[in-house]
Structure 1
Amino acid sequence: MMKKLILKGTDLELSNVCLGTANFGEKLTKEQAYEVLDTYVAAGGNFIDSANVYCKWIEELGNCSEQYLGSWLRDRKAYNKIVIATKGGHYDFKAPEISRVREETIRADLEESLQTLGVDHIDFYWLHRDDESVDITEIVDIMETLVKEGKIQYYGASNYKQYRIEQAVSYAEEKGLQGFTAVSNQWSMARVNPGGNMNQDPSLVLMDSDYYQWHKRSKMPIIPFSSSAHGFFDKLDRKLKMAEDMKRAYMNQDNLEMYQTLCKLRKETGVSLYALSIAWLTNQPFQTLPVAAVSRPEQLDDFVVASSLQLEKDVIEKYSL
Structure 2
Amino acid sequence: MCSKESIQSELSASLEALKTDYVDMYMLHRDDPRISAGQFVEWMNELREDGLIRAWGVSNWNLKRLEQAHDYAISRGLMPPSATSPQLSLAVPSDEVWPTTHSLSCPSKVGEIEWYKANGVEIMGWEALAKGFMAVPTLWREHEVNLSTFHGPDAEIGSETWRMQRIQRAYCTQLNYARRRIATQLAKESGMSLAQVALLYSLAKGEHVSVLVGADRCSHLDEMAAIRDWSLDDEAFNCLTAATKKSSVVSRVAAEIQEAKEATVSLQKKVLVTPSTTQSFNETMISSVVEPVLA
TM-score, normalising length from structure 2? 0.68
Would the aligned equivalents of 1:279 and 1:306 in 2 still touch at CA under 8 Å?
A: yes
Per-residue CA deviations over 1:169-198 (Å, capped at 9, x if unaligned) read 111221222210010011111011125x2x
Deviation at 1:253, TM superposition (A): 2.1
Q: Does 1:206 align with 2:127?
A: no
**Aligned letter for 2:31?**
D
Aligned to 1:133: 34
Aligned to 1:113: 14
Deviation at 1:217, TM superposition (A): 3.3
Partner Cα distance (1:216, 1:300) in 2: 29
The aligned runs of 1:86-105 (5 Å cut-off) are 99-100=1-2, 102-105=3-6
Distance 1:133 1:210, change over 3 A: farther
Would the aligned equivalents of 1:216 and 1:286 in 2 still touch at CA under 8 Å?
A: no
Aligned to 1:70: none
Would the aligned equivalents of 2:137 and 2:194 in 1 still touch at CA under 8 Å?
A: no
Aligned to 2:212: 291
Would the aligned equivalents of 2:25 and 2:57 in 1 still touch at CA under 8 Å?
A: yes
Aligned to 2:262: none
Would the aligned equivalents of 2:199 and 2:211 in 1 still touch at CA under 8 Å?
A: yes
Deviation at 1:315, TM superposition (A): 2.8
Partner Cα distance (2:130, 2:240) in 1: 15
Partner Cα distance (2:8, 2:21) in 1: 14
Partner Cα distance (1:289, 1:145) in 2: 27
Aligned to 1:6: none
Per-residue CA deviations over 1:60-80 (Å, capped at 9, x if unaligned) read xxxxxxxxxxxxxxxxxxxxx
Would the aligned equivalents of 1:162 and 1:211 in 2 still touch at CA under 8 Å?
A: no
Partner Cα distance (1:162, 1:218) in 2: 9
Match of 1:307 among 228, 251, 272: 228
Match of 2:86 among 180, 185, 197: 185
The structure 1 segments of at least 4 consecutive aligned residues displaced by more than 6 Å after TM superposition are: none
- Larger Rg over CA atoms: 2
Partner Cα distance (2:140, 2:15) in 1: 44
Deviation at 1:211, TM superposition (A): 4.3
Unaligned 5+ segments in structure 1 are 1-98
Task: Write 1 or 2 for the structure with the bigger share of helix.
Answer: 2
Match of 2:55 among 143, 151, 154: 154
Aligned residues: percent identity?
Answer: 26
Would the aligned equivalents of 1:232 and 1:250 in 2 still touch at CA under 8 Å?
A: yes
Aligned to 1:21: none
Per-residue CA deviations over 1:207-246 (Å, capped at 9, x if unaligned) read 2555431221340320011111011034443677668534
Aligned to 1:280: 201
The aligned runs of 1:209-288 (5 Å cut-off) are 211-219=109-117, 220-237=121-138, 244=149, 245=165, 246-288=167-209
Unaligned 5+ segments in structure 2 are 150-164, 242-256, 258-295
Alignment RMSD: 2.2
SS in 2 for 1:206: coil
Would the aligned equivalents of 1:143 and 1:155 in 2 still touch at CA under 8 Å?
A: yes
Q: Does 1:174 align with 2:75?
A: yes
Partner Cα distance (1:260, 1:232) in 2: 11
Partner Cα distance (1:162, 1:221) in 2: 13
Would the aligned equivalents of 2:55 and 2:82 in 1 still touch at CA under 8 Å?
A: yes
Between 1:123-132 and 1:206-215, the stretch displaced more is 206-215
Partner Cα distance (2:68, 2:45) in 1: 16
